[in-house]
Amino acid sequence: QCTAGEVVRSFALDVSVDRGQILGVSNFFTGLSTAAAQGYGIFPASFRDRVTVSSGTSAAWDAAGYSPVAVTADAPGGTLPGLGTSGVTLEFGALWDPAIAAAAPPASGALCSLQLSQPANLTLTTNSARGGIVASPPDFLAAAVFHGALVGPAILGVAWSNGNVVVQFQDGELQSATNLAGPWAGTGNSAGSFSEAPGAAAAKFYRVNHTQ
């Protein structure tokens, strides 16, 4: 999110998780940013290797494998290992007609989605080898602030309140069981907070079932 009226030309980001692997990157914009559709759809290395420009600005943006994942060989010492590991370097750039104000990329929004092998704490930093975050015009110095987070289905906390057990959770439906081996039953609650009075069972367990 841009908070000072700046427009970002490109992002070079290192994304890492503290457990498991980053398996895929999806839901990213592709192509030029226009008045009809705005976004960061220019991925420098992937564009070089996979996109064919037929004439002018006409290009095959749907080329197989075109994605923001950086090519490790371009900067081996400044690139995270990539998909199938705990860290990936991403490159996002935008091209638009400066004479059309509505064509500039938006001040806030999602760059992409990540597929993780398991819930994990995600960390973001700029990748200095690829320029970090570049504003337009480039002499504008943006101060980047990143907020990492726990990503994926997870129990966030369990507390006792007014005679009830209160479970805080994220990214799915809360399930419960009286034994770790199950059977597990859905609570029907995907809102992130669940409260119930303790039952007769000696112990009760909770987990989150991820929903797409």
β-strands 133-136, 7-17 pairing: antiparallel
Query: Which stretches in the chain have pLDDT values below 50?
Result: none
The per-residue pLDDT for 211 is: 67
| Nearest one of 108, 129, 103, 115 to 31, comparing CA atoms | 103
The per-residue pLDDT for 210 is: 82
The per-residue pLDDT for 54 is: 79
CA–chain centroid gap for 7, Å, is 20
CA 41-43-45 angle, 5° bins: 160
| DSSP H or E run through 46 | helix 44-50
pTM of the predicted structure, to 2 decimals: 0.81
**How buried is residue 8: exposed, middle or buried, by Cβ count under 10 Å (0-12/13-18/19+)?**
buried
